[in-house]
Structure 1
Amino acid sequence: MAQQLKIKVSDKAEGVVEKDVQNNVFNRRELTLKIFHIGSGTPSRKEIISALSAVYGAKEDLIVVKSVETIYGGGISLVRVNIYKNKGDLEKVEPKHLIGRDTGQKVKKGGKNAAKQG
């Protein structure tokens, strides 16, 4: 069995990469992480992105956190992440609300002006 890559997310959180798949169809790397944060809150998406950026050498705006699932009171989160090679592929595949969420941009929901965002 291969050695699992350890990632330090913050002072109180550390994770391991459980699955690392290169998806050539979408030109991205798909990761599944298990993050241990016993005794502290769930790490933010920003913390996860900056930790992965440091380890994989990818730009932060090319990393999309798909989901962060934490079991109540467990102190362990399962995180799914996609790391893209370029911005064009990311924008073709990922929903706009996820791109905005990870970069900290505010995305308008609903209404007649929502479709006019750019």
Structure 2
Amino acid sequence: MSQAQQIKVSDKAEALVENLKENKVIGRKEIKIKVYHIGSPTPSRADIRKAISSFIGAKEDLVVIRKINTGYGAGISEATIHVYSEKDVLSKFEPAHLVNRGNKAKTQGEASG
């Protein structure tokens, strides 16, 4: 088994890729990561999306974070992420609320700033 690949999520958080599977039928990559953020809050979806998109080499709008689970006080989170090859495929399989989740903070910040 090869070593887990490490991804820098933010200054205080790093992630290890536990499972990377390519689903060729659907046209997406399915990724499970473990994020280590001991002593700091759970990284935002935007931070994780940005780190995964640079790791995979895909556009940020094709990355969907399905879920992030953090144990109480643990400082370790598990995330499930889908990276699509095309926007059309993404819109067929992912619910709109998941696609838009994490983008609201960005649009509110732009409107007020």
TM-score (norm 1): 0.86
* Overall identity of the aligned pairs, in %: 48
Letter in 1 for 2:37: H
How far did 1:103 drift?
3.0
- Match of residue 27 from structure 2: 27
**Which residue identity does 1:27 align to in structure 2?**
G
Q: Give the Cα separation in 2 of the matches to 1:78 and 1:25.
A: 25
Contact 1:61 1:103 (8 Å CA) reproduced: no
* Higher Rg: 1
- The one-letter code of the counterpart of 2:6 is K
| Displacement after TM superposition at 1:25 (Å) | 1.7
**Map of 2:57 onto structure 1:** 57
Residues 77-105 of structure 1, C-alpha deviations (whole Å, 9 max, x = no match): 00000000000000000001101114338
CA distance in 2, matches of 1:102, 1:50: 11
Superposition TM-score, scaled by structure 2 size: 0.90
Aligned counterparts of 1:18 and 1:4: Cα–Cα separation in 2? 6
Q: Distance in 2 between matches of 1:83 and 1:102?
A: 15
| Structure 1 runs, 4 residues or longer, greater than 2 Å off | 102-105
Note the C-alpha offset of 1:14.
Answer: 0.2
Deviates more, 1:51-60 or 1:33-42: 51-60
CA distance in 1, matches of 2:74, 2:32: 18
Tell me the residue number matched to 1:41.
Answer: 41
The letter for the 2-side match of 1:26 is I
Kindly tell me the number of residue pairs found equivalent between the two proteins. 105
**Does the Cα contact within 8 Å between 1:64 and 1:102 map onto a contact in 2?**
no
Superposition pairs of residues 1-118 of structure 1, within 5 angstroms: 1-104=1-104
Alignment RMSD: 1.0
Per the TM alignment, residue 3 of structure 1 is displaced from its structure 2 partner at its CA by 1.5
Q: Secondary structure at the match of 2:19?
A: strand
